[in-house]
Amino acid sequence: MKQLLLAFVLLHFASASQSQKIVDLIYVGDNGVTEDIKETKYFILIKEFPGSVFRRLDYKLHGPLMTVKTYKDRDMKILNGSFYSYRENGLLQIQGTYEGNKKDGSWYYYNDTFKVVKEEKYDHGTLLQTIDPDTVKKEKAVEYPDERRGEFKGGPKAWVKFIQSTINPDVAAKSVKGGKVLVGFMINKNGDLETIHLRKSVEFVLDEEALRVIYKSPQWIPAFRNGHTVNAYRIQPISFQVI
């Protein structure tokens, strides 16, 4: 049974991205690693990316993502890169970065409406500052006549058309009940998409298809503010319906 499911996962994933590959699939039950799908409560998927970067995804069986951890070694002992933790319903709860097994940079904690309720700033494992966003003085936003949000070339209608033409409608039939995946990404100053990640997970096959679609996106027109191009952030919903 495990080999059959592994073959299915590999077949689905083969067309998702040429820059990453699945190197292991592990089933886990109440008593630890198991070969029996009937005992499985969740599974661990290991992806390898260029540059010897490895990513561990912990998924509920037929359910949403639980955690994503990035490592710099095949043995996956050194956390190095993005970390994501999700709520029971698949909503992103914690987002941060490790460097050499130590928290580094900004770590964000979200409530169930995606509002940041706490930010922690680290320097190689040392907590420098904890910020409560509600206590930060809000400066009145200044608008400039040259402002422009990050835009898909051709506008919103072209973006919708791109998603509709790129998505594989057959994927929904492979899911348990379908649902709405939310993908977050940054449009950088060159118009390329970066930090593509799940803001809301549903289940593996739907998550991977939603991510694949966003990864396929061509360049955007970068955001522009006060005479300069700037990074912009977006959350894109992609819905899958089982007919």
Q: Are residues 128 and 184 in the same domain?
A: no
- Report whether 28 contacts 40 (CB < 8 A): yes
The residue among 133, 165, 184 that closes a domain is 133
**pLDDT digit string (tens) for the chain, length 243 residues:** 344 344 445 444 444 455 788 899 999 999 999 988 889 999 999 999 999 899 999 999 989 999 999 999 999 999 999 999 999 999 999 999 999 999 999 999 999 999 999 999 999 999 999 999 988 776 665 666 667 889 999 999 999 999 999 999 888 888 888 899 999 999 999 999 999 999 999 999 999 999 999 999 999 999 998 888 999 999 999 999 887
Residue 41 lies in a domain: yes
| Residue whose entry in the numeric block shows the structure tokens 């499911």 | 5
Residue 209 lies in a domain: yes
Considering only CA atoms, give the Rg of the chain: 19
181: CATH: 3.30.1150
CA distances from 70 to 19, 54, 83, 139 (A): 16, 6, 6, 36
Chain centre to alpha carbon of residue 174 = 20
- For the chain, strand residue ranges (E) read 21-29, 32-33, 42-49, 53-60, 65-71, 79-86, 92-99, 102-110, 116-123, 126-131, 151-152, 179-187, 193-200, 220-221, 223-225, 228-230, 232-240
Residue 142 lies in a domain: no
119 is written with which tokens? 């930010």
What domain range is 200 assigned to? 151-240
Residue 140 lies in a domain: no
Q: Are residues 14 and 127 in the same domain?
A: yes
The residue among 88, 104, 133 that closes a domain is 133
Residues whose CB falls within 8 Å of the CB of residue 35, separated by 6 or more in sequence, listed in order: 1, 2, 27
Residue 144 lies in a domain: no
Distance, CA of 199 to CA of 209 (rounded, Å):
14
| Residue whose entry in the numeric block shows the structure tokens 């996962």 | 9
Secondary structure of residue 226 in the 3-state scheme: coil
Q: Are residues 96 and 65 in the same domain?
A: yes
Q: Are residues 202 and 123 in the same domain?
A: no
- Mode of pairing for the β-strands spanning 228-230 and 223-225: antiparallel
Number of domains in the chain: 2
